[in-house]
Structure 1
Amino acid sequence: MSPTPHVVLLGTCDTKLDELLFVRSEIVRNTTTVTFIDVGRKLIDHGTITISQERLLKEYGEGQNVSELPRGDVIKTMAACATKAVKKLYTEGEIHAIISAGGSGGTSLAAQVMRDALPIGFPKLIVSTVASGDTNTIVGETDITLMSSVVDVAGLNQILRQVLSNAGFAIAAMARAQASRRDDASYKEGKKKRVGITMFGVTTPAVDAIRKHLESKYDIETYVFHATGHGGKAMERLVREGGLDAVIDLTTTEICDHHTGGVMSAGPHRLEAASEAGIPSIVSVGATDMTNFGPMQTVPERYKDRKLYEHNPVVTLMRTSKDEARKVGTFIVEKLRKYSKDPKAVQVWLPTGGISMIAVPDGPFADSEADKILFQTIKDGLAGSGIDVIEDKRAINDQSFAHDVAEALVSKMGIIEKQSNVAQG
């Protein structure tokens, strides 16, 4: 039998006790156990609180009194302590979901705990006053579910009761599903290898061809990540969590945005995780001919005279310059040289016939000089590193190129075709 569903309820009891108690009652109505953790500024004594603020600080912090600290420091301190407590509960297999409710401060605190303590796939839900705004800093590259509170989480009323009741029933159902998956063989690690692939609109034909090739010929399931900043970070996070066995980092466009201030940067740590893990990895330069901005009018003034391309009404692309191409190539070289645990597990493919759908000859972003600088920077930088660099005359979206990239990864993974397995059986 599956274990009784168990939910962590996280919140600031000094400001939201009544609302949190209502959420708790709705979860308990669903025959679900609750561990109630108080992350508030002031100590609150209530019989339903499982881990009090005082206990949290004593067992997972330095036992300090946070009541007089600035608001920002309180959030940082309580988030750090709660992260340790929740991580311990998760590691011990005690819990199946987590929920919180609050305003911007409580949301920030709860989201940090959920991001830092729990893996992708574990149910996470926040009822928040800021759920309908810019949630970039809340969700990040994780799978936190946000539910708008509509009214402030400040006193129970008909609307808030309905929202919180929905949230309580929802998280109880998620917890029940999570608990049942522990005994469901279909969710347990199987024989299929897990391969992450990065994709953008202008590299979609290549990724589709790679995905179909790998999944039709081998016991592989693919995870495609849209290289919009969070996509790259999500793939790197999954690698660190042990959720991927190999990577085809075909589309490294996020590096361009990192250097130029585009809207789809994955930050300074891109290309580190797979190299550090030592898993089989194919790296290419898909869509490094472009930086991404919003609508045309949002392009920074300093770039107004550059080659711009309206991809759609909400996305404007800027062609990578020669200097930027050199910076992108240098970034790739430095990351692979510094972090590659096993250089032989990594291979770099350079499609000189076109690095995106619009960077092929006669395309709007065709710039052979910039591309040559990119390719040469990578070839020169990785010389003597033990990392193979394959320079190929085909375009990145050429189907035969995609198939060869897929086979190159398979070779590094050391797996055989499905048909061979059947024949041997």
Structure 2
Amino acid sequence: MKTVYVVGTCDTKGSELRYLRDCIRDAGCRVVLVDASVSDLQTKIDDVDVHPAEVARFHPNLPKYEELRDRGKAVAAMSEALVGFIRSRHEVDGIIGAGGSGGTALISPAMRALPIGTPKVLVSTVASGNVAPYVGPTDISMMYSVTDVSGLNRISRVVLANAGHSIAGMVLNKVGLACDDRPAIGLTMFGVTTPCVQAVTRALDKSFDCLVFHATGTGGQSFEKLADSGLLAGGIDVTTTEICDYLVGGVFPCTSDRFGAFARTALPYVGSCGALDMVNFGARETVPGKFRDRQLHVHNPQVTLMRTTPDECNSIGEWIGERLNLCAGPVRFLIPELGVSAIDAPGQPFYDPEADAALFSALERTVRRTDKRRITRVSLHINDPLFAELLVANFQEVVRDC
């Protein structure tokens, strides 16, 4: 039978979690009820399959009992332990949890630790707000609880039953990720690099399942999450723009771990400078005051772009180069000398040869060239069809050599 893990704090959400368990069991799944309570790790509640002390054993350095009296510290510690516990289990066909803000913060990291494609449902009181900190780059389905997760009533029974039946349906009718015989590769794209990425995917479509990620911060994290999960055969990282937002302060930043998946996995990597000419903000009026006098371009009513300066481009190039140096697998990085985005071209608002030159020089100066790691300038614009052909040729080369 397929196994669903029901996770939460049974000291405060016991009736709700048992109700979820019963709904899922009645739908035809085996259920493991995991109690991640933080009030007393030694408490053993009847009819719970995994008790808090068993979960806590997976913490690398569990704080002392006195420290765990602080609820915030206790939630953080149990959350870290729960990640280790879930990773240790080999029969997790799906996972579901329910909780308030504390329970959501406790449970969601364990869900994010599971591979893409493993069904994940989280019933939460905070699901109608900003869920990015909980979902991250993964496929967690969050359901708003409507009423507080505090006992069973005519509303909570319906919401929880819908959640339980949904996870059962996902598990019992799961579509395998490997339903395509072609190996999967990841590509990063922005509106201003779309022609390039579309040309690459057309050229590779017969041989590869091309997964395109929107470079909005979370998109790049999802790209690398799949690489870490062993679901990609390589990456064509055309659009590295999230680094601009990370270093300068935009709204679509990557994390400090950008390129980390390729350093860890040694997967074939081909990259470029896509949209490194811009930092992203929301509507024009939301641009921080310190940037109001900078060169701005209203991309649409909700997105305002800011041109990166030569100094910023220098820092961006060095940052990328240092991380490419950590990649042990084959690396090819192509520099499009005639422009890095649709609006970085003669007559376009972000055309700035001086800033581009600073970026390109920093990249070439920082990247340590080896037989496996190469960086190449080409006298083409990033959206020139010939540039796409070069990306394809380089990717075919690194894949062939692996």
Normalised-by-shorter TM-score class? over 0.9
RMSD: 2.0
CA change 1:253–1:30 in 2 (3 A) is same
Note the C-alpha offset of 1:385.
Answer: 4.5
Give 2:186's match in structure 1, choosing from 185, 196, 213: 196
- Aligned-partner residue type, residue 79 of structure 1: S
Alignment of 1:191-270 (within 5 A): 191-216=181-206, 219-270=207-258
Partner of 2:365: 380
Aligned mates of 2:308, 2:64 — CA distance in 1: 51
Structure 2 residue runs of 5 or longer lacking an equivalent are none
- Counterpart position of 1:147: 143
1:162 corresponds to 2:162: no
Give, in whole Å, the separation in 2 of the partners of 1:77 and 1:160.
29
State the 1:265 CA deviation.
0.7
TM (normalized to structure 2)?
Answer: 0.94
Cα distance in 1, alignment partners of residues 68 and 365 from structure 2 = 57
Q: Distance in 1 between matches of 2:21 and 2:319?
A: 49
What is the CA–CA distance in structure 2 between the aligned matches of 1:65 and 1:301, rounded to whole Å? 46
Q: What is the DSSP-based 3-state SS (H/G/I as helix, E as strand, rest coil) of the residue aligned with 1:414? A: helix
1:26-83 superposed Cα distances (whole Å, 9 cap, x missing partner): 1111021110011112355443210112333357676965795211111122122222
Cα distance in 1, alignment partners of residues 286 and 278 from structure 2:
16
Whichever residue aligns with residue 327 of structure 2, its letter is S
What SS is found at the alignment partner of 2:69? coil
C-alpha offsets along residues 84-134 of structure 1, whole Å, 9 cap, x if unaligned? 222122xx3x22100000100000110011113x11111111000000101
Give the whole-Å Cα distance in 2 for the aligned partners of 1:196 and 1:224: 6
Match of 2:375 in 1: 389
In 1, are the aligned partners of 2:10 and 2:36 still within 8 Å (CA)? yes
Instruction: Identify the range of structure 1 (379-388 vs 197-206) with the bigger mean alpha-carbon deviation.
Output: 379-388
Deviations 1:162-188 (A, max 9, x none): 10010010011112124x74xxxxx54
Asked whether the 8 Å contact 1:247–1:280 carries over to 2, the reply is: yes
Contact 2:243 2:254 in 1 (8 A): yes
Provide the residue aligned with 1:123 in structure 2.
Answer: 119
Task: Measure how far apart 1:358 and its partner are.
Answer: 0.7
Distance 1:63 1:54, change over 3 A: farther
Contact preservation (8 Å) 1:353, 1:394:
yes
Separation of aligned partners in 2, 1:32 and 1:137: 30
Aligned to 1:11: 8
* Structure 1 segments (4+ residues) deviating >6 Å: none
Looking at structure 1, the residues matched to 138 and 111 of structure 2 have their Cα atoms a distance apart, in angstroms, of 9
Unpaired stretches in structure 1, ≥5 consecutive residues: 182-186, 416-425
- In the alignment of these two chains, the number of paired residues is 397
Amino acid at match of 1:74: A
Q: Secondary structure at the match of 2:194?
A: helix
Match of 2:327 among 329, 337, 340: 340
Instruction: Give me the TM-score of the superposition, normalised by structure 1.
Output: 0.89
Aligned equivalent of 1:279: 267
| Compared CA separation, residues 68 and 208, structure 1 to 2 (3 A) | closer
Distance change (3 Å), C-alpha of 1:384 and 1:11: closer
Indicate the larger mover: 246-255 or 229-238. 229-238
Note the alpha carbon deviations across 1:350-382, whole angstroms, 9 max, x for none: 111211011111111111111111112212223
Q: In 2 relative to 1, CA 275–57 (structure 1 residues): closer, same or farther, beyond 3 Å?
A: closer
Partners in 2 of 1:86 and 1:354 — Cα distance? 46
SS in 1 for 2:46: coil
Q: Quick check: 2:344–2:351 contact (8 Å CA) kept in 1?
A: yes
Alignment-derived partner of residue 177 in structure 1 = 173
Structure 1 pair 29–383 and aligned structure 2 pair: CA distance change class (3 A): closer
Who is 1:411 aligned against?
397
Shift of 1:333: 1.2
Partner of 1:72: 72
Q: Deviations over 1:214-262 (max 9, x none)?
A: 013xx21111111111111111222122111111110000110111111
Query: Retained in 2: the 8 A contact 1:41–1:67?
Result: no
Contact kept in structure 1, 2:58 and 2:84, CA below 8 Å:
no
Q: What letter is aligned with 1:209?
A: A
1:413 partner SS: helix
Distance 1:198 1:228 in 2: 10
Structure 2 equivalent of residue 39 of structure 1: 36
2:39 is the alignment partner of 1:54: no
Local SS of the residue matching 1:18: helix
Q: Name the counterpart of 1:26.
A: 23
Name the CA shift for 1:361/1:275 in 2 (closer, same or farther; >3 Å). Answer: farther
Q: 1:276 to 1:67 in 2, by over 3 A?
A: closer
Q: For the Cα contact (< 8 Å) 1:66–1:74, is it kept in 2?
A: no
Name the structure 1 match of 2:348: 363
CA distance 1:312–1:325, change in 2 (3 Å): same
Return the offset for 1:300.
0.8
Query: Aligned equivalents of 1:165 and 1:18: distance in 2?
Result: 13
